[in-house]
A and B are shown apart, each in its own frame.
Chain A
Amino acid sequence: MSSAADIAAAREGRGDVRAAIARLSIYVRRNARYYGIWSVITLAYVACFVALPKMIGSAIDAIEREPSEAVVERALWIAAVSLLFGVLRYFSRELVFNAGREVEYEIRNDLFVHLQRLPQSFFFGWRTGDIMSRCVNDLNSVRLMLGPGLLSIVQTPVMLVGVLVAMALIDWQLMLLVLAPYFLFIFIARAFGRAMFRTNIAVQEGLADLSNQLQETISGISVVKAYAMERVSASRFAEANHELFRRHMRLVKVNGAMPAITGLLPALGMGMVLLVGGSKIMDGALTKGQFLTFAVYIWNLTFPTFIMGWVFSLVQRGGAAMQRIDEVLATEPSIADRHDRVEVEALRGEIEFRNLRFVYPGAEREPALRDVDLHVPAGSSLGVVGPVGSGKSTLASVIPRLYEVEDGRVLIDGIDVNRIPLEILRASIAMVPQDSFLFSMSLAENVAFGLPEPDPTRIAQAVERAQLAKDLSELPHGLATMVGERGVMLSGGQRQRAALARALALEPSILILDDTLSSVDAATEEAIQRELDEVFAGRTVVVISHRISSVRHCDRIVVMEDGAITEQGTHKELLLHGGFYARLARQQALEEELEGAVA
């Protein structure tokens, strides 16, 4: 927990605003055509915005002078400008919002592509939730900044200037009177924005508290029930619930005051206009039409000005969000094809580790592998056993370059693994990882996951070989069954065999099984074993397991402890050696015997 927080804090520190702005401007420039047209339209829109109230005012004055045909003509002109105004409004919204969505689309695509290129060590250091929040929440903040944010931050000041000039041309004293409360208004809107932010955070925290308590109760539900604590935990929940309620009510007060204030301040300006403008009309210094023009200006400015406070916070949040997105995009993929790559067509499958040492990224970690020297001839099989955390999986993961290793430490067919084109390397190796992760698609699609084209015969063959065929009839739609999130629709054993089938379908030259068959029963495992012996004669197989039965037939077996190889040899040799392997074998023999005991 704390180390993750430290990483987050460190990242927060080196977030570079300029880098984020530079990256964002790439996307904005790419959509320059949208923004170019939009700025022209904005100017025309503001012109209409300023002109309409003036036209209405002068029409009123005309009516006051003499109600005649000329007024109908003026009314038609107003209708025409209204139409234009509406059309411009349409385009000003459409263009800038669409551009925002376009940028969102591009950033999302770039994030996805980038994530797929990052090495496992990246995902080791970042929690999924962290990455997700950048792809979802932060991206949304950036989009809001570029959409509604940009719209008002550009449009409102232009409007304000236009209206103020128009007002000053009518009566500059009255303009200043109107302006005064507006300054106050901007100020208050800003303060409100802050108060809203604070109370909002308080509500979010209250919600988080409530969630934590719920989570705790649910996780400890067996204790809750065993000690009949329901009433106590209900009252604890009620407390948190009430606290959340109180915080909500505080937010309600702020939120409720907002529209009230929105109406109040511009109305203050209008009150001034009524008092001062009224006496000016009585003195003949102002016309009724001009008075009305002022009134309409004040109405129309209220909303755009008020949301400025909100817009500022949008821009602030958007900027911070872009920085967080930039952190992901700025991470260089350390595992990529290099310029000194060796062009090979295919790999035979000879594996060699030379004095390999590997430390997982992160401070003060023990090396996961130390001084591993091992040669696996092409077409032979290697078994790896050892306690949890001894480095077995790490050893397997460096073969397909899931983690970065130093040059010259891992070689396949005598070529440094770092210099083999990634596509060739990974096409030649099929690995069945420990967690047998399946995607939420159909079983057939999962099995065909690595194939360029789904090939029914290859799928069927792989399913057969992984001993999954007999399960198909139990599944609701056979191969077309949707396996659900992470494959939850399948049993543990079925999942593992599906993951195996996925690897077998590739027909690779190197097959790596990372403790793949732990949930598969002994008889099925034996059947799989037989299949593998037959199909994989002549291919390299690396089997990592806790079970002696999974590795005993391997050409060579190594025992790993604390990241180093401590024993190696054939099954027989190791039994005679009397070390870890021999003890493990004895223990498992006993367990088997026990399993066999009949009641």
Chain B
Amino acid sequence: MSADLHDPFQDEEELGKAYDSRLLGRLWPYVRPYAGQVTVTLLLVFPLTAFELAPGWIIAAGLDRVFSGASAGDAVFLGSWLDAPQGFPPLLWLALLYMGAVVGLAAMQFLNLYVMAWTGQHAMRDLRRDVFDHMQSLHLGFFDTYPVGRLVTRATNDVENLNEMFASGLVTLITDVIKMAIIAAVLFVIHPKLALYTFLVIPPLVLCAVVFRLKVREAFRATRILIARINTMIQETITGMKVVQLFTREKRNFDAFDAMNADHRNAWQRSIRWEAALFAVVEIVQNLTFAIILGVGAGVASVGTMYRFFDYLRRFFMPLRDLSAKYSVMQSSMASAERIFQLLDTEPAVLDQVDEPAPGDPARKGEVEFDGVWFAYRDEDWILQDVSFRVAPGEKVALVGHTGAGKTSIIKLLTRLYEPQRGAIRVDGVDLRDLPQHEARRRVAMVLQDVFLFSGSVGENIGLGRDDLSAADLEVAARSVEAHRFIERLPAQYATELRERGTNLSAGQRQLLSFARAVAHGAHILVLDEATSSIDTETEAAIQRGIHALMEGKTAIAIAHRLSTIQDVDRIYVLHKGQIVEQGRHQELLEARGVYHRLYQLQYRQQEARAAASGEMEKRPEAGSR
């Protein structure tokens, strides 16, 4: 719990270490299934390097032998395949070899990148799946504290960032080093003296690169932190603009903003300077090696050898240039990995303690019992205090109470979305904790006040993914609650696509759809959270008939907001400040002139007021219940 609580204030832009063995260790399981491909990528570096070296070699052969008219014979190493076959013009042969080598190189490069990306994409797909699965397994309370946007970022942007590491990070780094080592070795074989002299420039170059890189990193880190602050300030100023203007804060706000903005620019300019210096140094050193090759090689090395030195050194220096980019890629990847694993480490608070549901007593099928239940969303802030009641199979009861009395919490406990701190809840005579979550939710169907519809067809929204329900089953369910009539009038009936959150259906239609859901799923215990939104009279009547059809032969617990609809239930429980204060039938409770009586009067007034006023009175948000 504490892990996700402090997260909202964590700086999203924070950079991680470029290399973190603990995080890499945790990533390993995602790569392991593709270890073969990773090995291929690493092994590909050898043919790749061979193809990189071949063109220079071929041209050198041309310079030293073919161009001078002599037919190549005594190659320095690796056989005589440079010799043209009998009767073939040597120059054309060389050109063909050259083109072949170049095409081979291109193919190798593509293959290398492709296999690497393939691996990365597979690993990322698996990681995204795990993040999603884990999110779904977390208890509801988690989603109250962790903003939706941030969760989405974990599975999307953060995973994408991590992918960068596969595409151009770690593996490339390793292959680059191997490639550079091979090139260096080859140069020493070709001409040890020349190689020795040219590589004299490497130590100062490496020194410069390391120092400059550190400077760039420092500046870069500063820019990341500053830009995050700048954008936060813009965002905050826009959202709080009314306050800014009302309190004439514009000038001072701007001064603070300007200071940050200038710091940001300066940090970038610092980073640009060091980066440009690094580029310049690599460039200078590369050109200096040309001078060295010419100065030292004159008279001792052939033109072809010198050409090979030029070409190979150029390839040697190439990876050095974008080393800097790779470093920052690694940094942000590690930061993303950290955030992803932090989410994956959040333990689900509601856990299944059993795999198989306890059998339970068939005679008590449909029975619901609350036994001394205490519940709080947070600490000791009790929403329910010692609530006990029993509903016999087939009974219909109603829970009433003023806003915040704890009605909605009872539903959430009953469906095991939360767990009580003390006491027990029994369904069909079995303690809910002895039922796996999905089993508990199959037995108890919830018809929520806030009908949430998913994008998908009407049929899919009734079936909610139950493959065993046929189209006919769905229709039967819809007919039984009178939802069929409006569905029939939709453009594509059951196949009609619902827009985001079902905005193309009225509130009443959505209610009916949610009844159909409950019927289709065939639970024998129903929990109804009655709609509070106003519905036109005709739909209202349909809903009333729907509810009756729905409750037929089932145990039903209704959370009533309008007392007029529950006058014929078997029993009414009156909740007040988390406790059951009265119970009985409608008439009995009215006569007792207690809390129920007052609630009834209040509602009567409200209806009267609503009828009289042209606008509707705002309903206060339900403070205690969520």
A-side interface residues toward B, CB under 8 Å? 52, 56, 59-60, 63-64, 67-68, 71-72, 74-76, 78-79, 81-83, 85-87, 89-91, 93-94, 97-98, 101-102, 104-105, 108-109, 111-113, 115-118, 120, 123, 128, 131-132, 135-136, 207, 210-212, 214-234, 237-238, 241-242, 244-245, 248-249, 252-253, 255-257, 259-261, 263-264, 267-268, 270-271, 274-275, 278-279, 281-282, 288, 291-292, 295-296, 299, 386-390, 400, 402, 422-423, 426-427, 429-431, 433, 437, 439-440, 449-450, 484-486, 488, 502, 506, 518, 546, 561-562, 580, 583-584, 586-587, 590-591, 593-595, 597, 599
Task: Please state if A261 and B106 are interface contacts (CB–CB under 8 Å).
Answer: yes
CB of A218 within 8 A of CB of B273, answer: no
B215 interface hit (Cβ, 8 Å): no
Q: Is the CB of B132 within 8 A of A267?
A: no
What is the CB-to-nearest-CB distance from A240 to chain B, in angstroms, rounded to a whole number? Answer: 9
Please determine whether A253 and B230 come into contact, CB atoms closer than 8 angstroms: no
Verify if B559 is at the interface (C-beta below 8 Å from A): no
Q: Determine whether the beta carbon of A439 is less than 8 Å from that of B441.
A: no
Query: Do the beta carbons of B247 and A282 come within 8 Å of each other?
Result: no
**Is B402 interfacial (CB-CB < 8 Å)?**
yes
* CB of A591, distance to nearest CB on chain B (Å): 6
Once the chains bind, are A128 and B277 in contact (CB under 8 Å)? no
In the complex, identify which listed stretch (B16-24, B261-269, B337-345, B489-497) lies at the interface while the others stay far away: B261-269
What is the predominant secondary structure among interface residues of chain B facing chain A?
A: helix
Interface set, chain B 99-122, CB cutoff 8 A to A: 99, 102-103, 105-107, 109-110, 113-114, 117-118, 121-122
- Interface core residue of A102, A237, A593, A599 (most chain B CB under 10 Å): A599
- Cβ-closest chain A residue relative to B574: A599
Given A217-B136, A225-B415, A238-B129, the answer on whether A120 and B121 have CB atoms closer than 8 Å is: no
* In the bound complex, CA of A261 to CA of B279 (Å): 24
Q: Using Cβ atoms and an 8 Å threshold, which residues of chain B touch A219?
A: 148, 452, 501
Q: Which of B213-249 contact A (CB under 8 A)?
A: 230-232, 234-249
Which residues of chain B are near A229, meaning CB under 8 Å? 464-465
CB distance from B484 to the nearest CB of A (A): 20
A238 neighbours in B (Cβ, 8 Å): 129
A440-B245 contact given A218-B151, A230-B137, CB 8 Å threshold: no
A387 to B615 CA separation, bound complex (whole angstroms): 6
A-B contact pairs, 18 of them (CB 8 A): A75-B291, A82-B291, A86-B280, A105-B265, A128-B239, A211-B156, A218-B135, A223-B448, A223-B464, A227-B517, A230-B133, A233-B136, A237-B132, A238-B129, A245-B122, A252-B118, A546-B618, A594-B602
Select the residue from B110, B160, B437 with max chain A CB neighbours within 10 A: B110
Chain B residues lying within 8 Å of A586, measured Cβ to Cβ, are 605
Interface residues of B (CB under 8 A from A): 8-9, 55, 58-59, 62-63, 66-69, 91-92, 94-95, 98-99, 102-103, 105-107, 109-110, 113-114, 117-118, 121-122, 124-125, 128-129, 132-133, 135-137, 140, 143, 148, 151-152, 155-156, 160, 163, 230-232, 234-250, 253-254, 257-258, 261-262, 264-265, 268-269, 272-273, 275-277, 279-281, 283-284, 287-288, 290-292, 294-295, 297-299, 303, 306-307, 310-311, 314, 402, 412, 415, 417, 437-438, 441-442, 445-446, 448, 452, 454-455, 464-465, 500-501, 517, 521, 576-577, 579, 581, 594-595, 598-599, 601-602, 605-606, 608-609, 612-618, 620
B407 to chain A, nearest CB (A): 15
> Please, which residues of chain A bring their CB within 8 A of the CB of B612?
580, 583
A281 touches B67 (CB 8 A): yes
Q: B276: which of A90, A228, A268, A389 is its contact (CB, 8 Å)?
A: A90
Task: Report the nearest A residue to B301, measured CB to CB.
Answer: A63
Return the contact of A402 from the options B102, B133, B246, B616 (Cβ within 8 A): B246
Contact present for B452 and A223 (CB under 8 Å): yes
The verdict on A278 contacting B609 (CB below 8 Å), with A101-B268, A105-B262, A132-B235 known, is: no
Please, which residues of chain A bring their CB within 8 A of the CB of B94? Answer: 274, 278
The A-B contact count (CB < 8 A) is: 419
User: Contact: A252 with B249, CB < 8 Å?
Assistant: no
Q: Say yes or no: B442 contacts A228, CB within 8 Å.
A: yes
B152 touches A211 (CB 8 A): yes
| Complex contact A222–B452 (CB within 8 A) | yes
Cα distance A79–B435 in the bound complex, in angstroms: 81
Name the residue on B nearest A596 (C-beta): B598
Determine the chain A residues whose CB is within 8 A of the CB of B242 once the complex forms: 120, 402, 433, 437
Contacting pair A488 B117 (CB below 8 A):
no
Q: A63-B303, A109-B257, A233-B465 are in contact. Are A93 and B283 (CB under 8 A)?
A: no
